[in-house]
Structure 1
Amino acid sequence: MAQAAVDQLDEVVAPFDQAVSARESRAKSKTDEALVERAKKGEARQLVMEMILPVQADPSIPDDEVGGMLRERIGMQRLREITSDAWKPLPPEHGRLSELESSYTCLRQFTPNVLAAIDFQGGPGTAELMEAVAVLKEMNRLGGRKVPTGAPSGFVPAKYADYLAKARKSGEGTAYRHYWELCVILCLPARSGWMKTSIWRCRRCRPRTYRPRPRR
């Protein structure tokens, strides 16, 4: 019976791992492509700056002649192209969680069932993550849309914390729910291996922690 439970657990976890990892890989590819394009634009901006700074720093050039001189040297068309796109600072992980959020609906097709089927167990230092898993399970069961006030967030990796902070500060409950839930899924031991030395799936715990549902 115990081995049967372990085998059924693997049947659930393997597709779960693969599906979430595929979405992570897709998000990484998208952000990598965006970084390449950003680097190209950054190089173009840098070349323009190398033309601007010497003129700006030259005390022999009168202030009222600087603008005209730069427009003549650089060209208005090139200046318009450089300034047409807003240059926003990148988040610590280059926007990967934001890109992954576009797959939220797809992930929701199976993650609630996985959480309901598996009793995750945690070791020392994982109390907040395990509490978050319990909160998410209850939200799924009740159909809750907003993360309850006081729900743990200390388990969220530092590189993603700013997403949640900004969503909460701006009152964007849906965005906060998406980012918070994604962090719960990403931090689970069954897949990313984050803190894997102190968290484990129930297959490493007592067999009774996993109770497969009867097949119909």
Structure 2
Amino acid sequence: MESLTRRQREFLAAFLRLYRRLRRPLHYGAVARAMRIGRATAYEMLAALEGLGLVARHYQSPEGPGRPRVLFRPTAQARRILAGVWEAPVWRAAQARVRSELQALQARLEPTAVLQWLTARVEEGSIPEGMARMAAGIGLVLRFLQATEGPWPLPRGKALDLGALASLSAALTALARAEPHQVHALLSRIRWFQAQWERLDPTDRRRLSRFTRQILQETGRAG
């Protein structure tokens, strides 16, 4: 399958959220109203995604005279591609789990302990939980760097590009004087995070960005 454009991915993510919320196939007019776009634009996007095997259409016969209504639903392939589109309860649970782990670490919240925390759980939990854990780790590394290098203000009112900032997490290996196996494990985790970040829709990127800022605030240094 050819790759999606950014616009197609964002539209598909929004359509999948809408479908999950309403739990029924949708007419393109309803999609247009929900997304606040033109009906023709909604139909063209759905038709393009249908051509990629990500959306399927079927026709609903009218109760009386008239033409059948065209309804659309996401395919299983679309749900696999956008497995990173997180439902609100899943995201809340992921945040709660990570906050609980951080609370247990609070008494020894220093680079060595944080490095052990991040690398010991490479295979654990769901994707949202793993992403939340790495987002929190990025926040903590920023905190450590601020403590050693001085104030490092983050842009206010904007989502953080955690895909780029994830590379800073590698500084944790120097701060913690990591063993080679820990370096390998952390770099592997950073690559995993960056690959998942590229697949996320904008809503989930903003969620992770807000979470990182919250971790900075909750651990004593606001961004």
Q: TM-score, normalised by structure 1?
A: 0.28
Work out which of the two has the higher radius of gyration on C-alpha atoms and give 1 or 2: 1
Larger relative contact order, structure 1 or 2 (CA cutoff 8 Å, min sep 6): 1
Q: TM-score, normalised by structure 2?
A: 0.28
The structure where strand makes up a greater share of residues is 2
